[in-house]
């Protein structure tokens, strides 16, 4: 009788271990997929930078150094080595977008310029997609990190070398500037 009890307990332990591993794999894949989507959205937003830099070059309020920095932001994001560097660069892009749009408000002729309005809408749309993807990534990272922090499950996470995810956070979107 004791042998059957021990056998049942071992089987239950193996099943629970397998389910825990399966949950880690699912949450890990979800976090990786969310990161990939966020990365793609940030790259798509970065594709708009050269066009904006070209438009911004005509504003007297913006100096040449600012335009030069803006035009090189796309490459700076690609070369970021760590998540903290990437967050800093993405935050810088958002700040530069805000500065360009603030300078653009001083030019009433741009309110009727079809090309600039289209560019502005594209950037705001891209920024919104980045913000949405950022929230999904942070949510997936939080879910994974929460499971990995639970005491018996953290041993499984260490056993299979599942590392916690860092959160990605930067300034809110351009909506406030556009209001």
- DSSP type of residue 163: P
8 Å CB contact between 119 and 75: no
Three-class SS state of 47: coil
* Separation between Cα atoms, residue 142 and residue 56, nearest integer Å: 38
Is residue 7 one of the residues assigned to a domain? Answer: no
Six token digits for residue 13: 């332990």
Is residue 18 one of the residues assigned to a domain? Answer: no
- Indicate if the alpha-carbon torsion angle 6, 9, 15, 17 is positive or negative: negative
Is residue 38 one of the residues assigned to a domain? Answer: yes
Number of domain units in the chain: 1
Is residue 117 one of the residues assigned to a domain? Answer: yes
Mean pLDDT of the chain: 86
Structural domain of 110:
24-178
Q: Which residue has the higher pLDDT, 43 or 62?
A: 43
pLDDT reading at 34 higher than 90: yes
* Average pLDDT for 70-93: 85
Is residue 28 one of the residues assigned to a domain? Answer: yes
**What's the predicted TM-score (pTM) here?**
0.82
* Average pLDDT for 67-81: 85
Q: What confidence score (pLDDT) does residue 125 get?
A: 93
174 band by pLDDT with thresholds 50, 70 and 90: low
Is residue 5 one of the residues assigned to a domain? Answer: no
Residue for token pair 């942070």: 138
Q: What confidence score (pLDDT) does residue 96 get?
A: 86
Is residue 113 one of the residues assigned to a domain? Answer: yes
Is residue 4 one of the residues assigned to a domain? Answer: no
Residue 12's contacts (CB-CB under 8 Å, 6 or more residues apart) are none
CB atoms under 10 Å from CB of 151, counted, come to 6
Six token digits for residue 99: 């500065």
| Region of residue 171 (phi > 0: left; psi between -120 and 50: alpha; otherwise: beta) | beta
* Separation between Cα atoms, residue 114 and residue 56, nearest integer Å: 15
* Separation between Cα atoms, residue 30 and residue 144, nearest integer Å: 9
Q: What confidence score (pLDDT) does residue 133 get?
A: 94
Between helix 114-149 and helix 2-46 the angle, nearest 10°, is 160
Q: What confidence score (pLDDT) does residue 76 get?
A: 85
């Amino acid at each position: 009788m004791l042998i059957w009890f021990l056998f049942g307990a071992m089987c239950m332990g193996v099943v629970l271990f397998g389910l825990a591993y399966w949950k880690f794999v699912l949450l890990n894949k979800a976090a990786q997929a969310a990161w990939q989507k966020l990365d793609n959205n940030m790259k798509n937003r970065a594709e708009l930078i050269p066009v904006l830099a070209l438009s911004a070059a005509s504003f007297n309020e913006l100096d040449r150094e600012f335009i030069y920095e803006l035009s090189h932001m796309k490459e700076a994001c690609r070369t970021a080595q760590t998540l903290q560097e990437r967050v800093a660069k993405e935050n810088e892009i958002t700040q530069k977008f805000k500065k360009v749009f603030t300078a653009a408000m001083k030019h009433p002729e741009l309110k009727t310029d079809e090309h600039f309005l289209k560019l502005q809408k594209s950037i705001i749309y891209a920024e919104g997609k980045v913000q949405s993807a950022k929230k999904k990534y942070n949510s997936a990272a939080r879910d994974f990190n929460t499971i990995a922090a639970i005491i018996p499950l953290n041993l499984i996470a260490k056993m299979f070398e599942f590392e916690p995810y860092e959160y990605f956070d930067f300034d809110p979107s351009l909506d406030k500037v556009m209001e």
